Structure 1
Amino acid sequence: MTKLQEMNKFARFGVYLVIAVVALFVLPFLSWLIGEESFTATSKAAFCVSCHSMEPFVASNADNTHGGNNEYGIKASCSDCHLPHDNSANYLYIKAQTGIHDMWVETFEDTSKIDWRAKTEHREEFVYDSGCLTCHVELEKATRDQEEHTRYFAGETTSKCATCHEEVGHSNLNKHLLQSKYK
């Protein structure tokens, strides 16, 4: 006879209750905590620069208002701009897709042969308007550059934020690329 069989019904109920509480509350909480910390850690420049090809981008970001070079010291993380913020499912999907792609490229390709300056011509593919509008929520009501922004919010243009704001998030990027082996 096992010890569990020897226990009285009340003691067995207590054991089952503890197991149920752990399964229903502790495990989901720990899963959420680990997931949240992982997403936070992998969204910052310190993580992105662990791939050497990102060094010029992190350096140029530090020169920029969005990288903390402002009177308030406010910093946008890489994921604030380079991941969509329209819904959680899309955010997670694009984060996973981008992460897998970037790990593959860093591991199996010669990143020094990538023409990073040419890629800046396609910056709209790497910067999400939903990220911009998460922080710049009052932009539609702003009076500065109102004509352009009114057309944007009315859907009268195919332009995206990065179309007009060419160096958004990365000041002096060409300088940093030229100073590195990633030209």
Structure 2
Amino acid sequence: MKFNFQILPKSPKWRKTAGFFIAVIIGMGLFIAQEAKITSYLSDDPQACVNCHVMTPVYNSWMHSSHREWANCNDCHLPQDNFVKKYYFKAKDGLYHASVFTARAEPDVIQTKEASKEVVQQNCIRCHVQQVTQVKYDGWLEGHQESRTGRECWSCHTSVPHGTVRGLTTVKYNVAPLPTDKEEAVIPEWLAEEVKN
């Protein structure tokens, strides 16, 4: 009986190097995903919105509004008519927000885009359908019947649910990257020390 052993050729050096760099890229990706709390964006938790500090004043103003008891960020800012549309819109909007935040190009005053305005308007009507369409008496404000669904709700209700927030500098104690759901100031020790000096 004859055995024919063949010695396999050595694998090229580039395979080890490529494997090393692929492992580094995957490891860095997982580390960044963990640090950025990526999985939190799949939830309906409003605190996911304040992973980016520019949303802190918006979160804080919502936290002190009556809407906090009934609606979270996704209830107002995402389509609610079907699951696929909701998560597509969430991914598209989230990638836009993440790229703006990463590039440090966020504006001081955050404005809603046209697609978002349409979604918010539909959600206002969805939640307040009785107030909008089933009012028994319309004599108290002339022409209000046509205005109920024909224009944006916030053209009259400008301070709902975010109060008078217009930018990063309009909320008291807006120094924490985490939500301030307490009345007292959330000031990091290092900043309090700087203020004293």
Superposed, 1:144-155 pairs within 5 Å as 150-152=145-147
Match of 1:161 among 153, 157, 168: 153
Post-superposition Cα deviations, 1:33-77, rounded to whole Å, max 9, x if no partner, equal xxxxx698533321101111100000111222112xxxxxx2310
Report the counterpart of residue 120 of structure 2 in structure 1: 128
Instruction: Please state how far the C-alpha of 1:132 moved relative to its aligned partner.
Output: 1.3
- 2:59 — aligned with what? 58
* Letter aligned with residue 61 of structure 1: W
How does the TM-score come out when normalised to structure 2? 0.53
Which residue of 1 is the match for residue 77 of structure 2? 82
Structure-2 residue corresponding to 1:93: 88
Q: Which runs of no fewer than 5 residues in structure 2 stay unpaired?
A: 1-38, 176-197
- Between the aligned partners of 1:77 and 1:171, the Cα distance in structure 2 is 15
How many residues end up aligned between the 2 structures?
A: 132
Structure 1, residues 67-103: CA drift from partner, whole Å, max 9, x if none?
A: 2xxxxxx231001111223444432321111111111
In the alignment, which residue of structure 2 is the partner of 1:13? none
Q: Within 5 Å, which residues of 2 pair with 1:26-37? A: none
Q: Distance in 1 between matches of 2:105 and 2:124?
A: 31
Identity %: 28
How far residue 128 of structure 1 moved from its aligned partner, in angstroms, is 1.5
Equivalent residue number for residue 108 of structure 2: 115
Within 1, Cα distance between the matches of 2:82 and 2:154? 20
Residues 3-39 of structure 1 deviation map (CA, whole Å, 9 limit, x = unaligned): xxxxxxxxxxxxxxxxxxxxxxxxxxxxxxxxxxx69
Task: Quote the RMSD (CA, aligned, Å).
Answer: 3.5
What is the aligned partner in structure 1 of residue 50 from structure 2? 49
Question: Based on CA coordinates, which of the two structures has the bigger radius of gyration?
Answer: 2
The residue identity in structure 1 corresponding to 2:55 is M
Separation in 2, partners of 1:46, 1:174: 20
Q: CA separation in 1, counterparts of 2:40 and 2:83?
A: 12
CA 1:148–1:50 in 2, change beyond 3 Å: closer, same or farther?
A: farther
Q: Letter of the aligned partner of 2:87 in structure 1?
A: L
Structure 1 residue runs of 5 or longer lacking an equivalent are: 1-37, 68-73
Match of 1:8 in 2: none
Aligned CA distance change for structure 1 residues 91 and 146 (closer, same or farther; 3 Å): farther
